[in-house]
């Protein structure tokens, strides 16, 4: 998983050599354990060119808005990445071991890029309570719909805290999309809940549905982004 603490690296810009442990950049970012000041160099994920920390400031144009996303390698001209970063022997050995364990978990699909989603958990609970109230009032259709949405939301929210898997984002997307479909159906049929005497204009339901569809799309994009990172970590780790 790593190239060893005694691995020698040579900067492709200034030629300076140094020794350091190589760690996958995405794991370092996700772990939030390693101060960036401890990084001695960066390696391109395409051509494996190493750029030392001193040369990176002038030769790697990192955007304050999009980060490394559009940074080009000064040697090959492709997207830089970075693939891995190198840290020197002065870094605490326990921290390095912890980062290596994170790297193994990341490659296995358990990533700290997935944060516990309290809001999904909360609205899952709210929808379940609302569903129970509606069922008790014999609003069976709405009661079952709200209960199902609540259970899926509760599972998705709890899973985000426990499993740290990118597939949690797909579960959240499915739940949010289901809610959008329900809102559109309410708008098209003119259905309302007698218990709360709600008579919401259809266009407001459509606007809310559009927001939830956008939210579901955003969750799918996040799943793809994190899954791509996991595949990249696996690829780099077996080099």
Q: Please, which pLDDT band fits residue 217 given cuts at 50, 70 and 90? A: very high
List, for residues 172-188, the tens digit of each pLDDT value.
888 889 888 888 887 78
Instruction: Name every residue whose Cβ is closer than 8 Å to that of residue 121 and which is 6 or more positions away in sequence.
Output: 153, 154, 157, 158, 160, 161
- Decide which of 88, 107, 126 is a domain's last residue: 107
pLDDT at 235: 67
**pLDDT at residue 5 in the model:** 47
Q: Look at residue 211 in the predicted model and tell me its pLDDT.
A: 93
Tokens describing residue 233: 């970590």
Task: State which H helix or E strand residue 17 sits in.
Answer: strand 17-19
Q: Phi then psi for 172, rounded to 5 degrees? A: -65, -40
Torsion sign over Cα 156, 161, 27, 54: positive
Is residue 113 in some structural domain?
no
* Mean predicted confidence (pLDDT) in 81-94: 76
Q: 136 with 46, same domain?
A: no
Residues 210 and 132 in one domain: yes
What residues form DSSP beta bridges with 10?
A: 17
pLDDT class of 223 with cuts at 50, 70, 90? confident
Regarding whether 122 and 93 lie in a shared domain, the answer is no
Residue 141 has pLDDT above 70, yes or no: yes
Residue 146 half-sphere exposure toward CB, CA atoms < 13 A: 20
Q: Are residues 89 and 177 both part of a single domain?
A: no
How many angstroms separate the CA atoms of 199 and 38, rounded? 59
Residue found under tokens 């998705």: 156
Verify that 85 and 159 share a domain, yes or no. Answer: no
Range of the domain at 200: 118-233
> 2: pLDDT confidence band, cut at 50, 70 and 90?
very low
pLDDT band at 196 (very low <50, low <70, confident <90, very high): low
Listed residue (111, 117, 148) closest to 232, CA to CA: 111
């Amino acid at each position: 998983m790593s190239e060893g603490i005694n691995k020698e690296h040579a900067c492709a810009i200034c030629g300076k050599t140094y020794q350091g442990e190589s760690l996958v950049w995405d794991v370092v970012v996700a772990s939030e354990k390693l101060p960036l000041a401890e990084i001695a160099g960066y390696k391109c994920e395409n051509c494996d060119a190493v750029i030392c920390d001193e040369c990176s400031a002038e030769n790697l144009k990192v955007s304050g808005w999009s980060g490394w996303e559009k940074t080009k390698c000064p040697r090959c001209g492709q997207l830089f990445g970075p693939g891995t970063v190198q840290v020197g022997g002065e870094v605490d050995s326990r921290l390095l071991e912890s980062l290596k364990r994170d790297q193994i978990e990341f490659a296995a699909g358990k990533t700290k890029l997935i944060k516990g989603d309290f809001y999904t958990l909360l609205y899952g609970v709210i929808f379940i309570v609302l569903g129970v109230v509606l069922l008790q009032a014999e609003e069976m259709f709405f009661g079952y719909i709200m209960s199902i949405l609540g259970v899926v939301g509760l599972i998705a929210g709890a899973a985000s805290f426990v499993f740290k898997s990118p597939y949690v984002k797909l579960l959240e997307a499915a739940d949010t999309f289901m809610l959008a479909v329900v809102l559109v159906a309410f708008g098209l049929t003119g259905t309302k809940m007698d218990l709360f005497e709600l008579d919401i204009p259809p266009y407001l339901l459509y606007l809310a549905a559009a927001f939830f569809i956008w939210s579901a799309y955003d969750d799918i994009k996040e799943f793809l982004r994190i899954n791509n990172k996991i595949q990249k970590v696996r690829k780099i780790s077996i080099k």
